[in-house]
Structure 1
Amino acid sequence: MSVLELKKVSYAYYVERKILDEIDMRFEKGKMYVILGPSGCGKTTLLSLIGGLDIPQEGSILFEGADIGQKNLESYRRQHVSFVFQNYNLIDYMTPLENVMLTAREDPVKALCQLGLTEDEIKRNVLKLSGGQQQRVAIARALASETPVILADEPTGNLDEDTAREITTIFKEAAEKYDRCVIVVTHSQELAKQAHERFELKQGKLFNLDCDNADNT
């Protein structure tokens, strides 16, 4: 059964141009989805709608069969969705441990150590960590929150090639080992190669790249 479903979702910044045009899509737990597309095509807008930061102008988004537009969106975001951003979005005067504790429903130390940080590193100020380590903290925060959906916006964009590869593996394991639905928007073809399902957002439509260029419908 789908954990998330988009039904005829549309969104426009200008009347004459829909950035998202009647998108139908289902997302399942246990999979990592990658959505590719150039800057300005609507990837971040789509992620914001799925995450309840905004609502579709047309159509609906269902979480476990219920329209999130009919729910308290703050409660939906807190209980069901975690975000991982390109710029990490950590509280910079806190330690990794303190950042993860803000949303943790499971042991934050365990989550951080599983992602390769030492007990010394998790007690440092986050600004004293490398970019790759900070991104690990952001992912640990998402995993420790135990939300079924993880949304990532260009999560490897600020990282070197080797670190980006490691972070991509972590996202895939989050889907497979922890039964999360992981949705990543990115420019990275290397990241996309590791996805269970790949899509391209183009001219307001989603195209499945694994089905001979068929539309997602």
Structure 2
Amino acid sequence: MNILEARQVFYYYTEGRPVLNGIDLGFEKGKMYVILGPSGCGKTTLLSLLGGMDVPNAGQVIFNGKEIREIGLERYRREGVSFVFQNYNLIDYMTPEENVCLTAKEEPLPVLARLGLTGEEARRNVLKLSGGQQQRVAIARALASQAPVILADEPTGNLDEATAREITAVFKDAAKTYGRCVVMVSHSNEVAKEADVVITLHGGQVA
């Protein structure tokens, strides 16, 4: 059963030139989805619409059977989804523990420990962590929010190949072990190989 759906979603900046042209997609809990496609094909726009950061010009985004505007976009963003970004979007004067506390509905230290950070690292300023560790903090923040849907925009784009594999494994575990629905935008075929479902966009449509 789908927890999240895009139903005949259209989006355009200039009328008559759609960025997304009638997208129909469904997403289930416990699976990791990777959205591939060339630059400008609408990947990040789709992620933004799925996350309630913007609304389609036509069509609907459905969460748990309800249109997200009916739920209320602010409430949906607070309770339904959590974002992980390429540039981590951490508060740089805080520690990992403090960053996770911003959205946490559970104790942050056990979540950080599950993602491989020691107690000392969890209380260190985030700028003193490696890029891979910072991305783990961002993922911990998403997990600790207990949002059922995690939306990730190029989360491995700033990481070396080995660290990217580790982070991809963390996302996969979030789906398989913790039952989250993980939707990830990526340019990486290596990341796509680890997905349960690969969605390719081309010209604003599912290829």
Q: Distance in 2 between matches of 1:181 and 1:79?
A: 14
Aligned to 2:177: 177
Whole-Å separation in 2 of the counterparts to 1:68 and 1:199: 22
Residue segments in structure 1 that go unaligned for 5+ positions in a row: 208-217
**How much has 1:70 moved relative to structure 2?**
2.0
Q: Residue in 2 aligned with 1:210?
A: none
Residue deviations 1:110-156 (CA, integer Å, cap 9, x gap): 00011001100010110010000000000000001110000000000
Gaps of 5+ in 2: none
| Aligned amino acid, residue 104 of structure 2 | A
The 1-side partners of 2:70 and 2:21 are apart by 21
Quote how far apart the aligned CAs of 1:72 are. Answer: 1.6
How far apart are the structure 1 equivalents of 2:55 and 2:198? 24
Following TM superposition, the consecutive aligned residue runs of length 4 or more in structure 1 with deviations greater than 2 angstroms are none
Root-mean-square deviation (CA, aligned residues, Å) is 0.7
Aligned match of 2:186: 186
Range with bigger deviation, 89-98 or 11-20: 11-20
Give the CA deviation at 1:5: 1.1
The alignment status of 1:157 with 2:157, answered yes or no, reads yes
Instruction: Report the equivalent of 2:199.
Output: 199
- Counterpart of 2:39? 39
Q: How many Å apart are 1:13 and its aligned residue? A: 1.2
Q: Secondary structure at the match of 1:89?
A: coil
> TM-score, normalization: structure 1?
0.94
| Cα deviations by residue, 1:70-129 (Å, 9 ceiling, x for unpaired) | 222111001010000000000001000000001111121000011001100010110010
Give the match's secondary structure for 2:89: coil
Which whole-Å CA distance do the structure 2 matches of 1:205 and 1:5 have between them? Answer: 15
Partner of 1:215: none
Partner-residue secondary structure (3-state), 2:29: coil
Residues of 2 paired with 1:71 and 1:197: CA distance?
A: 27
What corresponds to 1:104 in structure 2? 104
In structure 1, the partner of 2:5 is 5
**What letter matches 1:176 in structure 2?**
K
Q: How many residues align?
A: 207
Matches within 5 A, 1:129-168: 129-168=129-168
Does 2:145 align with 1:115? no
